[in-house]
Structure 1
Amino acid sequence: MNPQSPPKNPSYCIGLMSGTSTDAVDGVLADLAAHPIRLLAQASLPLPLPLRDEFLALNAPGPNELHRSAMAANALADCQAAVVQSLLAQAGLSAQDILVLGTHGQTVRHAPDAGYTVQINAPARLAERCGIATVADFRSRDVAAGGQGAPLVPAFHAACFGTRGGRAVLNLGGIANLTLLESPVRGFDTGPANMLMDAWAQTHLGQPFDQDGQWAASGCCQPALLASMLAEPWFARLPPKSTGRDLFSLGWLHAHLEKFTHQGTPFAPADVQATLLELSVRSIADALQRHAHHVQTVLACGGGALNQAFMARLGRALAPVALRTTADEGVPVQAVEALAFAWLAHAWLQGRAACLPEVTGARHATIAGCLYPA
């Protein structure tokens, strides 16, 4: 940034997120100096279907990947820039009012055990389009330090919701992850949340997701299929751990379904959806019981917190643990992740380590991200 032209509001920051659900770019503009953090604007832009399909295709090897990834990154930056402009317009602000912008990008490969993670992004293009200093590439340094590079948000959850103990934040995005609000803060992925349900709904309904879990509610959970999926060795791993489409893909689901097809017992699509919902619920409840049995209250956020069938079933599975949402704490469920990346970008400027070894398993804490000046 030009040191002669500091932002008029040095605590106004923007965060952008497009998660493993691969459905939209979510953005927030927030005043990070306010206590509690004050949201000034919130916006979401659905990803164009061809771009969404391209991101999903890039999760697997294919032809001309380098060129396709670069073009997808540019297209994503253009979507992100549109969200930024919407945020500024809502708040009646200009780029000169914003201290920094944080952008996660779109994960297409996550293989920390092999020493890498890939988020498609074009932060230089975004900084050029928006005229705002941009922080991106939040995971790589932690992976370089031997960590999982995920989950990224527990330090923010602790800053936003406190660490008085007995509480956890549960993000229900494509993947579910838990943050234990204690000192030191801990967090880990629990497995799929919406990702497999969304993929199955798109395959069989031609819709991006199962609205309110209505389709899942019309089916019946199949115990044998559920047991087969819960036998996945990843679930038994101890934290720190993270996961994504590299493991929990449609191919993974079809491999389990084929066991029963060969036995002459194919399942109705609605029954598979009901079983996928139960898989998400059970894997979350099991993780909480194994690794956080002292938790008394769970604050849910992310798109899954809007799925009525999912939340109702999860509430029953977690009882007597109380299931609430971050909205009860003043933070809309769809704003939490984007807000986290505004906070992470601000943490970079302050030189504050936000990737925590207790969460990721890295050798030491690291400052997350790289800066692209305006």
Structure 2
Amino acid sequence: MRYFLTFLIILTSMMFYGCGGVSSGNDESSDAPPVGGGGGGGDGGDNPLGSFSKLSSKVADGPIQGANVWVASVRKGPLTTEPVSTDASGNVSVSVPNTVLMTMADDDILYWYAVATADSKVNVNGVNKDLVANQFRFRSIIGKGSEARAGASLGSFVPSPQTSSVSHFSNAAFVIVETKLGRSEPIRPDITTSTGLDLFSNALDAVNRDIADSTSPVARKFKLIAMATKAIVEDGMTQILEGGKSGLEQSDQILLELGQSTNLNLASQFVQAIPTLSARVSEDLTSSLFSAGFDPGVTSVIQSISNQSISTAATVSLPVIRLPSLLDVAPENGVDIVDGIVPAASSPISSGGGLRFRSAFNPGSNKSIYIPAN
């Protein structure tokens, strides 16, 4: 994962290093994942002999109060026994036992997970709006398991400050990664996996490249998903795709469906709100809450995406990154392979009574694999 903490890390987290007072929270009306790591939580208090690594974050669409927050990993799930609640400004600190971080696999992915509870409120233009449980489930990538393990071995894992926020932007990028990985369900602390983690770097690099191109489907989908998130969180909109999933409690499923959708149209209520939602997202890009997380060039690209492009973005397909195995190589002829991305519709071509493949992850190679018919 050579480029793991490149622009996507900046993209998925705004440079706003929150600390401040927090309280434990485990509202049973929100989804409470099972514990995969154990210990920790809270603000950590005393830390004798480097027992804990203290990670700080800010949860925002506008600032969100009363969200339950975990530090989790894709393999292990939650790394503490209980979540911690954000304060009135959306700040939170979570202490993760170093004994847990020391067991992280190199290819594991650490991420923030924040979920709305029945006590959550979002600040919209100075006014607090009540949320319902699970009205949002935000994720934001923190770093690699190898980095966490190395930091813990020295007494404390200190992630980049650029990974300290969780928002509609960080979650939109996370949804695109899930889409590129062909996920059938969102990644959450209660939905763990050890499959395909080696593809995260491919997906992250692809987003890193494409988000800066206003004509790319990734940039259009990113803005669309960020807008849909604001519609769900701030406006309580329950239907984004016509005939698609609905209901505030399915917010993460709605957004993943939006990322993967190619044949569903946007719901009329959302279409009518596109101009105002687009303006609000564009304003967020220059807000002090989020602007430090964006390169000025990327900010201008996202802002330049027209409302007309957004209105058709739901039907744009994002290519799926395939597993690098014998079953996930592309035919030697007839398929255009770019950066290890194999079109989902590609199929092997018969060659002399057998099948001849070349590696999708080394498309410039002259080497190929021939599988005879018998």
What TM-score do the two structures reach when normalised by structure 2?
Answer: 0.28
What TM-score do the two structures reach when normalised by structure 1?
Answer: 0.28
Larger Rg: 2
